Amino acid sequence: MDTENTVEMLLGRHTPVVDRYTPGLLYPIPRATGRSSIACEAGLPFSGVDLWHAYEISWLDSLGKPQVRVARLTIPASSPNLVESKSLKLYLNSLNNARFADDQEVTSTIIKDVARTVGCDVQLELLAVDDHALSGVELAGQCVDFLETDAPAGEPCASMLELRPGDPVQEQLHSHLLRSLCPVTGQPDWASVWIHYEGSALDHRSLLRYIIAYRQHQEFHEQCVERMFCDIQQRIDPRFLHIQAFYTRRGGLDINPFRSTDPAARPLPRMNRQ
């Protein structure tokens, strides 16, 4: 990633504790930067959202009593910017000693600040920490992780994906072996990935090799999923295609990018792994 674009980024830097409400901590990252390398800059071939869960939301009520919730934040993939994860963590921490009248005031404050950062409207739910809506889902379809394969050298690319002979198929596949690297710190990010499509049949072994190829690939979560979407779309010419990655939490946050050919499709909520 270009050093000029990361000079103000909080990732990889020692940051002091901020104990007062500071919306200026939120840091935008232009999506066009990552999309320029996957031919997604001119006309997006997908719709979708980035679904975040924030497990460490706390503030004070009007009497000064602490309140805690889990936040479910939805950012459209069409937004000009994504929000850098450490900046979101520090921003949410800055709410800890701020007083709010009720959940609605907290919700409207976070929505306003994040929307300003990403450049479009966002959605936010505040959930009780034991809300059943936070129950993890089991991924549908076939897990490809048990196939024998070697570890590929080099970066992931569409040419790794092979097709099975025969008619088009509709199937759901998933893997728990996705690992990518933060483009700033080089630290590993772990995820499961789910793919549902109808189109030319993917060879499952080649798909697993392709997923494993991300193991040394440095890119933000959202960009990895968009790269996967574009590579698979290029190979299978799908009638429809849905891809979602479920990254394990870091700093009290998990990120679940979802991309689809169907603007009406909605992401799965979260996994127990997270």
Write down the pLDDT at residue 263.
97
Q: Does residue 216 form part of some domain? A: yes
- Please state the φ and ψ torsions of residue 60, each to the nearest 5 degrees: -110, 140
Write down the pLDDT at residue 15.
64
166 plus 113 within the same structural domain: no
184 plus 105 within the same structural domain: no
What are the pLDDT digits (tens) for 157-178? 999 999 999 999 999 999 999 9
Sequence-distant (≥ 6) Cβ neighbours of residue 17 within 8 angstroms: 93
86 burial via Cβ count (<10 Å: 0-12, 13-18, 19+):
buried
Write down the pLDDT at residue 4.
39
Write down the pLDDT at residue 43.
76
What are the pLDDT digits (tens) for 38-92? 865 557 899 999 999 999 999 999 999 999 999 999 999 999 999 999 999 999 9
Write down the pLDDT at residue 10.
56
Write down the pLDDT at residue 5.
45
Write down the pLDDT at residue 18.
85
114 plus 164 within the same structural domain: no
User: How far is CA 272 from each of CA 39, 136, 180, 209, 269, rounded to the nearest angstrom?
Assistant: 34, 4, 20, 25, 10
The total number of structural domains in the chain stands at 2
Sequence-distant (≥ 6) Cβ neighbours of residue 88 within 8 angstroms: 26, 52, 54, 114, 253
102 plus 176 within the same structural domain: no
128 plus 237 within the same structural domain: no
Nearest to 95 by CA among 106, 111, 83, 84: 106
89 plus 114 within the same structural domain: yes
Q: Does residue 147 form part of some domain? A: yes
Q: pTM of the full predicted structure?
A: 0.93
Domain encompassing residue 120? 3-134
Q: Does residue 274 form part of some domain? A: no
What are the pLDDT digits (tens) for 105-144? 999 999 999 999 999 999 999 999 999 999 999 999 999 9
In 3-state terms, the chain is what percent helix, strand and coil (to 5)?
25, 30, 45
Q: Does residue 38 form part of some domain? A: yes
Write down the pLDDT at residue 13.
57
82 plus 181 within the same structural domain: no
19 plus 125 within the same structural domain: yes
- Among the options 50, 189, 231, 254, which is catalytic? 189
Write down the pLDDT at residue 37.
85
Angle at which helix 103-118 crosses helix 85-93, to 10 degrees, equals 150
Q: Does residue 272 form part of some domain? A: no
Cα-trace Rg, the chain: 19
236 plus 121 within the same structural domain: no
25 plus 54 within the same structural domain: yes
Q: Does residue 268 form part of some domain? A: no
Of 134, 150, 184, which one is at a domain's C-terminal end? Answer: 134
Confidence of residue 12 (pLDDT cuts 50, 70, 90): low
Average pLDDT, integer, range 256-262: 98
What are the pLDDT digits (tens) for 192-243? 999 999 999 999 999 999 999 999 999 999 999 999 999 999 999 999 999 9
Helices (H), the chain: 3-6, 31-35, 85-93, 103-118, 204-212, 221-236
Q: Does residue 239 form part of some domain? A: yes
Residue pair 252/40 in contact (Cβ under 8 Å)? The answer is no
Residue 100, pLDDT above cutoff 90: yes
127 plus 171 within the same structural domain: no
User: Active site includes 189?
Assistant: yes
Which residue type does 145 have? D
Confidence of residue 6 (pLDDT cuts 50, 70, 90): very low
121 plus 217 within the same structural domain: no
- Among the options 40, 182, 224, 230, which is catalytic? 182
Of 83, 111, 134, which one is at a domain's C-terminal end? Answer: 134
Write down the pLDDT at residue 2.
45
User: Active site includes 182?
Assistant: yes
Of 117, 134, 151, which one is at a domain's C-terminal end? Answer: 134
Q: Does residue 265 form part of some domain? A: no
Q: What is the CATH number of the domain that holds 226?
A: 3.30.1130.10
Confidence of residue 11 (pLDDT cuts 50, 70, 90): low
Check residues 9 and 11 and name the one with the higher pLDDT. Answer: 9
